[in-house]
């Protein structure tokens, strides 16, 4: 998907309307007497409160945006009035009504409109997707309190293509408002759910993991003599895996390939069901959210503890292993495949998700992923981290010996060196491969 596209109103309207129709049909909204109507201008002209604002906005909009809005479809009630606070997808609403197009007063938004409003009550400071009328670029503002004047800007077509793709792989799923939709962030218009994981998420993670394993194995001493065609067992089987491990971690361990080497990253080994790492206990207090009981209590209890957490790649050294150091699958409420690297020591500085070096103590902050352009902020996805690790292997930054990746936990102290920042910065959080 090309991020440098000229604004094509017809193509953007086609992509936008596809999402609207998927949501309309999936939620069976025709049973409520609702229907689709073309043209944002015509639809809102029928609303007495919005009608006075339609013509002034039309006069201000660039011709290409007028063309786009003339082609988009809106969901209207049985009396022909557009639905206010209606969802485009789970986390954003459809094109804002005329009275709500003006974004909050933030530096850098003087020439912008609020194209898609935030749809999640759990994030009251989230603004939504704004468009700069000078160049038709859009940016998703997660939090007005953390707004920076130089955020990432995208072509609207790219964002709509990505939203369509996320829907197509089942990450967003439409359904009737009275159904048991998974709604962790309290959607204002609750006709969509967010799926924490499914077969596509699992298969994507397994494929990237297997690619990392292969990248290491072809670099092992004597790899030329080793047969590459023989089938390999999975990391675990239903008989060998602890029945307390559930959800995404269980599915991953039952499908991912067992490597022939020991270390998959410096100081980290792959989960071994015959010698598992210490289990992660979840405490359920009489009041309040569940909490992890772990040496990393402070770092990992920022949100509700999820019982599916597991140390996927525990520390190689027994001392660190007992302290629960390693790569955790640390699910959040909307993303079951999110991970955190828990180090047995604190770093005094490290690169943020955007590469900016910060002086801050952390033992769990490496390879962070924030500022998602297509969803609310979330943790680092396993697939994103494994792709980065494969890059480190293929570039020679990580070297390979008989035991696999060389080095111990001390490697991660290099994150304190600003010149090594790029080693610890990830790419797209939702790669569509």
Render 361-424 in DSSP notation, one character per residue.
Answer: EESS-TT-----SSSS---EEHHHHHHHHHHHHHTTSS-EETTEE---GGGGGGGGSGGGGGGG
Q: How far is the CA of 265 from the CAs of 95, 300, 313, 431, in angstroms?
A: 45, 22, 9, 22
Residues making up the chain, counted from first to last = 433
Q: What are phi and psi of 288, to 5 degrees?
A: 90, 180
Tens of pLDDT along 120-171?
A: 999 888 899 999 999 999 999 888 877 765 678 899 999 999 999 999 999 9
Using the CB atoms, write b or e for 171-202: b if 16+ within 10 Å.
bbbbbeeeeebebbbebebbbbbbbbbeeebb
Q: What whole-number distance in Å separates Cα of residue 405 and Cα of residue 261? A: 9
- The pLDDT score that the predictor gives to residue 168 is 96
Q: What are phi and psi of 173, to 5 degrees?
A: -140, 125
Residue that is written with structure tokens 């100081």 in the block: 267
Confirm if 312 and 381 have CB atoms less than 8 A apart: no
- The pLDDT score that the predictor gives to residue 1 is 42
Q: 334 is written with which tokens?
A: 């909307």
- The pLDDT score that the predictor gives to residue 308 is 84
Higher per-residue confidence, 181 vs 36: 36
Tens of pLDDT along 13-57?
A: 999 999 999 999 999 999 999 999 999 999 999 999 999 999 999
């Amino acid at each position: 998907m090309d991020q440098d596209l000229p604004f094509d109103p017809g193509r953007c309207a086609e992509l936008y309307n596809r999402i609207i129709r998927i949501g309309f049909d999936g939620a069976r909204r025709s049973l409520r007497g609702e229907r689709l109507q073309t043209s944002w201008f015509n639809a809102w002209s029928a609303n007495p409160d919005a009608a006075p604002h339609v013509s002034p906005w039309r006069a201000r909009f660039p011709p290409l945006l007028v063309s786009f809005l003339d082609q988009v479809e809106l969901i209207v009630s049985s009396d022909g009035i557009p639905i206010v606070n209606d969802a485009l997808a789970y986390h954003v609403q459809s094109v804002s009504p005329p009275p709500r197009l003006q974004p909050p007063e933030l530096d850098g938004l003087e020439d912008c409109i609020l194209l898609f409003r935030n749809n999640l009550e759990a994030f009251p400071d989230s603004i939504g997707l704004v468009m700069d009328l000078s160049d038709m670029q859009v940016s998703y503002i997660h939090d007005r309190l953390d707004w920076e004047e130089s955020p990432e800007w995208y072509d609207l077509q790219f964002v709509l293509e990505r939203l369509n793709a996320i829907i197509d792989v089942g990450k967003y799923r439409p359904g009737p408002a009275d159904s048991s939709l998974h709604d962790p962030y309290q959607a204002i218009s609750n006709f969509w759910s967010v799926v924490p994981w499914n077969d596509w998420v699992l298969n994507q993670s397994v494929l990237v993991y297997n690619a990392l394993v292969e990248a290491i194995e072809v670099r092992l001493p004597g790899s030329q003599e080793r047969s590459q065609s023989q089938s390999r067992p999975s990391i675990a089987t239903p008989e060998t895996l602890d029945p307390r491990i559930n959800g995404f971690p269980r599915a991953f361990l039952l499908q991912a390939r067992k490597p022939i080497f020991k270390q998959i990253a410096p100081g980290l080994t792959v989960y071994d069901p015959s010698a598992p790492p210490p289990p992660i206990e979840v405490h359920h207090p009489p009041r309040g959210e569940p909490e992890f009981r772990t040496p990393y209590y402070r770092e990992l209890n920022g949100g509700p503890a999820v019982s599916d957490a597991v140390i996927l790649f525990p520390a190689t050294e027994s001392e660190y292993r007992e302290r629960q150091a390693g790569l955790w699958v640390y699910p959040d409420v909307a993303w079951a495949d999110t991970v955190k690297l828990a180090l047995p020591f604190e770093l005094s500085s490290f690169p943020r998700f955007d590469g900016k070096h910060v002086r801050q103590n952390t033992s769990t902050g490496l390879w962070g992923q924030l500022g998602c352009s297509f969803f609310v902020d979330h943790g680092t996805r396993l697939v994103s981290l494994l792709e980065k690790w494969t890059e480190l292997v293929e570039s020679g930054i990580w070297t390979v010996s008989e035991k696999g990746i060389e080095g111990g936990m001390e490697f991660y102290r290099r994150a304190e060196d600003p010149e090594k920042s790029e080693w610890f910065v990830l790419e797209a959080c939702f790669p569509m491969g």
